[in-house]
Amino acid sequence: MKSALVTGGCGFLGSSIVKALLGRGVPVRVLALPNEPTDNLQGLTVELVRGNVLSRESCEAAVAGQDTVFHAAAIYKAWAPDPTDMYRVNMSGTFNVLEAARRAGVARVIYTASMVALGRPPVGGIADETTGYEAWDLDFAYSRSKYHSRELAEDFARWGLDVRVVCPGVVLGPGDITPTPSGKLIITTLSGAPPVYMDGGASYVDVRDAAEAHVLAAEKGRPGQRYVATAHNLSALELMQAIDDAAGRSRRYVKVPIAVARRVVQAMEARARRSGTEPMLSRNFFEYSARPCFFSGKKSERELGARYRPLRETLTDAIAYFRERGSLQSH
């Protein structure tokens, strides 16, 4: 790579991609929103350009002269009463970036999808890059918008643009500035959430390892291919226990039947719609995660040489970051 553009490069995953590129000596340009904070780029030597992926002109200016494009810009929310902006940014924004890259003759594009852009495995199974999307019964805007934008990216690959797709698991670690719904899992667990759990689970990955997988996809990946970047398949109970352990505490958890939890979540969402305040857990996020979403990252390890660190290191670093920012008590 001679030079690289990272859209969303001020964000959680995007800034980690920037750091992985700079560590290889690759000059980096970052496309950031006009008023977006640049805390995650502090002390880094990058070319910062302001614009919006919804603007064709912004995308054309951003990709000009770039060898490689990492398209990580997206809206990631578990609750969106009006998901219009999420669909526009995640889908139309993806089209604008890829079309600008195609017209500019960019050598390759690495598109950040998500494991929720793929299908959940049967109960007791492990999904991978080939698992077909099946969550059509849920109005889960983030999942559906990432599915459609992944399909769009792969259409560009069929059109002749060298596009490689990375599907990270639930991304955790330091630098979650917003924080994302992933980071809120840690914050709510340590900030007084009741010690209860239900069936379900997900696949988790350190943000730094997910970023490295993106750069490896650019270096070693194949055009048109998907790569799942994930490492740790945990039940909901196992995740909360791992967070407690990393924070140096221990709690006893009580299992709540799905039917009971569903009524509580529905009540929380109804209250949230009246108040306009985000609920602790949204109904569609609850329904999606009530079924275990376990994934294999073996293809990324085998074909890209990706490596994944222990979960405890990820959680310890994330907790320290949130404490430093005042999102968690220091005790």
pLDDT digits (tens, 9 = 90+) for 180-229: 999 999 999 999 888 999 889 999 999 999 999 999 999 999 999 999 99
Sign for the CA dihedral angle at 185, 188, 194, 195 comes to positive
The three-state secondary structure class of 147 is helix
Percentage of the chain beyond pLDDT 70 is 99
Tokens of 269: 């969402």
First to last CA, the chain: 45
* pLDDT in the model for residue 285: 83
Q: Which residue in this structure is represented by tokens 């109904």?
A: 283
pLDDT in tens, 69-103: 999 999 998 888 899 999 999 999 999 999 999 99
Q: Report whether pLDDT(331) > 70.
A: no
CA-nearest of 291, 269, 289, 292 to 280 is 269
The pLDDT assigned to 286 comes to 86
pLDDT of residue 329: 72
Per-residue pLDDT, averaged over 104-127, amounts to 96
Residue 323 pLDDT greater than 70, yes or no: yes
What dihedral angle (degrees, nearest 10) is formed by the CA atoms of 265, 271, 272, 273? 110
pLDDT of residue 111: 98
Supply the DSSP string of 5-65, one letter for each residue.
EEETTTSHHHHHHHHHHHTTT--EEEEE-TT---GGGTT---EEEE--TT-HHHHHHHHTT
Which carries the bigger pLDDT value, residue 282 or residue 267?
Answer: 267
Provide the residue type at 17 as one letter.
I
Q: What is residue 236's three-state secondary structure?
A: helix
Residues constituting the chain? 331
Amino acid (one-letter) located at 237: L
| Prediction pTM value | 0.95
Predicted pLDDT of residue 287: 86
User: Cα separation of 117 and 142, whole Å?
Assistant: 9
Instruction: Give the C-alpha distances (Å, rounded to integers) separating 224 from 37, 151, 164.
Output: 33, 11, 5
What b/e readout covers 151-162, taking b as 16+ CB neighbours within 10 angstroms? ebbbebbeeebb
Confidence of residue 330 (pLDDT cuts 50, 70, 90): low
pLDDT at residue 290 greater than cutoff 90 = no
Q: What is the pLDDT of residue 233?
A: 97
Q: Alpha carbon 129 to chain centroid distance?
A: 16
Q: What is the mean pLDDT of the chain?
A: 95
Q: How confident is the model at residue 282 (pLDDT cuts 50, 70, 90)?
A: confident
pLDDT reported for residue 202? 94
Q: How far apart are CA 202 and CA 179, in angstroms?
A: 19
The answer on pLDDT for 319 being more than 80 is yes
Q: Give the whole-angstrom CA distance, residue 278 versus residue 272.
A: 6
Provide the pLDDT for residue 218: 98
User: What percentage of the chain's residues is helix, strand, coil (to nearest 5)?
Assistant: 45, 15, 40
Domain boundaries, the chain: 4-177+203-231+293-309
CATH number of 4-177+203-231+293-309: 3.40.50.720
Per-residue pLDDT at 268 exceeds 90: no
Q: Is residue 37 over pLDDT 60?
A: yes
